[in-house]
Structure 1
Amino acid sequence: MSYIGFTIPNTHRAALLREFNKPLVVEDVPTVRPEGEAVLVRTIAAGICHSDIHAWRGDYRPAGLPKKIPIVLSHEVVGVVVACGDRVPKHLIGRKVLIYPWQYEDEDEFTLVGLTQLARRRLRLGLDVDGGLQEYLYVRHYKFLVDAEGLADIPALAPLACAGLTTYRAIKKLASYVGPEDYVVVVGLGGLGSYAVQWVRTLIPYTNLVGVDTRDEAIEFASKLAKVDYVVNPSKVNPVDEVMRITKNRGVKAVVDLVASPKVVATYINVLDTRGVYVLVGHMGEEGITVPRPRIIRNELVIMGSYTGSLAEQREVVELARSGRVNYSAVVTTRYRLEDVNEALKNVEEGRTLGRQIVVFD
């Protein structure tokens, strides 16, 4: 198979999830020829997200995910377009692109107002269809490609498709609630938090930022990426008492919860000021959460979810990276080969990492 300067093999290497909780198997798979609006992307890098760990362990089986086994994981993918169908603009061939992972199938009431991530019918990379832990990725429509030409560190862009996008939308949603004298708490300074603290400084630079994590090394890492005004380590102090001390008993205007376990929610909802907003982002555990109903009512607290981000917001994130408003390269701390993908999964699962991890292809 050959397309304008690119010779494409009939088969390529992919890391397949064949059994839950078993090592991924790297083997040859057929390379699909794109038709119509579809494109074929040669993978430059693919990110390892905690959602991949959930899929690998089988945590999503009650929801019927992944939709197929075997499947190729990773929804954070950057690459170069090497082939396209007959209804795709030919100038895209050779372009470096970030792939938007939450690919809607139909136009509906959500996509028509730009909320593409909430489409009723969507195909998610690494869950519904094969993801990026393979040398070539079939993308069913070129509209899901975000131009990445001209950026200095193309492989490090991959996590912007999920971690960068998800935290960008969460901070963007709460920005209108926050004033110059207010405080914002980011709970969890790992892979998501490494971007979140930067988005706070980009979108609401006038606020007081409080970073929370149980690991001193994570606090130190995030503090190198953005100005964190105050830090709290709940393993060393009572976090509610410490936040109230920092705010002089006023409380904070917003909490961005990148963990969102029942225990964490029950703790940090108590640091909100009147008319404060609590943004749930993390997926740690499937248990229900308990919230103080009288306090929510009397103080007019707002609890909201934030799920990934739209295609338009994905483009905004890449443009902010292009303009230097987010240090996306420094967030990526480890780069693996495809052969080492199981080591990457284990390191993320066991919390032995800072920032984000990616698999880089030759």
Structure 2
Amino acid sequence: MINTIYRLVAPKLFEEGYEEVFLEDNVVIRPTHLSICQADQRYYNGSRDPGILAKKLPLVLIHECIGEVIKDNTETFSSGDMVVIIPNTPTEYDHIISENYLKSSKFRSSDFNGFMQDYIISSPDRLIKLPLNINKKVASFTELVSVSVHAITKFSKISHNRKNIIGVWGDGNLGYITSLLLTVFFPDSKVIVFGTNDEKLNMFSFVDKTFKINEIPSGLTVDHAFECVGGRKSQIAINQIIDYIEPEGTVSILGVSEYPIQINTRMILEKGISVFGSSRSGKEDFINTMRIFKNHPIILSYLENIISNVFKIRYLTDINEAFERDFNSNFGKTILIWDK
């Protein structure tokens, strides 16, 4: 079978290509809704290290996607089923290390081609059937939600039981999703969000309090914290967390920075703070995310609020327009309705 793919061959330059694929014991999916991630933007704008770009490109972008099953040679799914596709693809099992941290695992739109294709060929174990009547635009960024689910699940296992106040630093998409999920995982805890933009912070209507980082009340502390800022500003966020967290609190770092940052290790030691990082997610996190969607449908309603742009994609120029609009958006997710 010959499949059409849409590759980024250089920053801001997409090219149509063709690739022979083999069905074997796989499922054929037609992508319907895709979502742009910050990682995609770093490739698109060429903001990653030139050596990495030279190694990775050309590359088919996008790792947040849902689609319709066209054919399943394994008879696991039926034609017409809507599925979310897990971008992480493990090649082995380890009873200690999660699939998303195994060096041997491959990740779509990074280690191999992402979802900007006419058809996607996948093994059935990388697919999860979507609930009926789910908002497909929200479902398209299930992967990002699962990343927060993964981080919070790890946090639940290693943090101490005093969770009176949980702080989230970051008023962007990741901070929004993480703080929203924290209200589900820990309904008896107060969730406070710290950010820099009043308009963005007003979106966090479901949390207990929001504060701008230069207007934090005297005496306020948090038991634990999540850093969802990323980039160079993550240094400011992490060091402020260290200042405001109670002794023996746990800090979850989710923000990605392309550059090394300096943090106050002296106070980490003095307070006995636990710091852990998390990246990507695995199948179990997707399953847990679907369970949350089913049991807490209000979550889907809140997630609708962060859809900022929707583009119907028919031509290569539509892809460029979507990426440019997404890059210039101050907040929210850009959804691609794939009509290739």
TM over 0.5: yes
In structure 2, the residue matched to 1:332 is 307
State the distance in 2 between where 1:151 and 1:180 align: 38
2:222 corresponds to 1:252: yes
| Secondary structure in 2 matching 1:40 | strand
Q: 1:62 to 1:269 in 2, by over 3 A?
A: farther
In structure 1, the residue matched to 2:104 is 121
Structure 1 runs of 4+ aligned residues shifted over 4 Å read 59-68, 178-181
Q: 1:100 to 1:186 in 2, by over 3 A?
A: same
State the distance in 1 between where 2:209 and 2:54 align: 40
Contact 2:148 2:174 in 1 (8 A): yes
TM-superposed CA distance for 1:180, in Å, is: 6.7
Q: Partner letter of residue 124 of structure 1?
A: F
Contact 1:262 1:287 in 2 (8 A): no
Q: 1:69 to 1:143 in 2, by over 3 A?
A: same
Q: TM-score, normalised by structure 1?
A: 0.82
In structure 1, the residue matched to 2:294 is 322
TM-superposed CA distance for 1:69, in Å, is: 2.8
2:43 corresponds to 1:29: no
Q: 1:291 to 1:165 in 2, by over 3 A?
A: same
| Matched length | 329
TM-superposed CA distance for 1:63, in Å, is: 7.4
2:278 corresponds to 1:296: no
TM-superposed CA distance for 1:83, in Å, is: 2.5
2:282 corresponds to 1:310: yes
Q: 1:281 to 1:210 in 2, by over 3 A?
A: same
Q: Partner letter of residue 343 of structure 1?
A: E
Q: 1:151 to 1:353 in 2, by over 3 A?
A: farther
**RMSD of aligned residue pairs (Cα, Å):** 2.5
Using the aligned pairs only, state the percent identity: 20
Give 1:38-187 correspondences, 5 Å limit. 38-61=26-49, 64=52, 68-85=56-73, 88-89=74-75, 91-107=77-93, 109=94, 112-113=95-96, 115-139=98-122, 141-161=123-143, 163-175=144-156, 177=159, 182-187=164-169
**Which one of the candidate residues 18, 21, 33 is aligned to 2:9?**
18
In structure 2, the residue matched to 1:6 is none
TM-superposed CA distance for 1:214, in Å, is: 1.5
2:325 corresponds to 1:358: no
State the distance in 1 between where 2:76 and 2:312 align: 31
Q: Which moved more, 1:316-325 or 1:51-60?
A: 51-60
TM-superposed CA distance for 1:59, in Å, is: 4.3
Contact 1:65 1:128 in 2 (8 A): no
| Secondary structure in 2 matching 1:275 | coil
Q: Which moved more, 1:204-213 or 1:168-177?
A: 168-177
Structure 1 unmatched ranges of 5 or more: 2-9
Structure 2 unmatched ranges of 5 or more: none
| Secondary structure in 1 matching 2:42 | helix
Q: Which moved more, 1:326-335 or 1:270-279?
A: 326-335
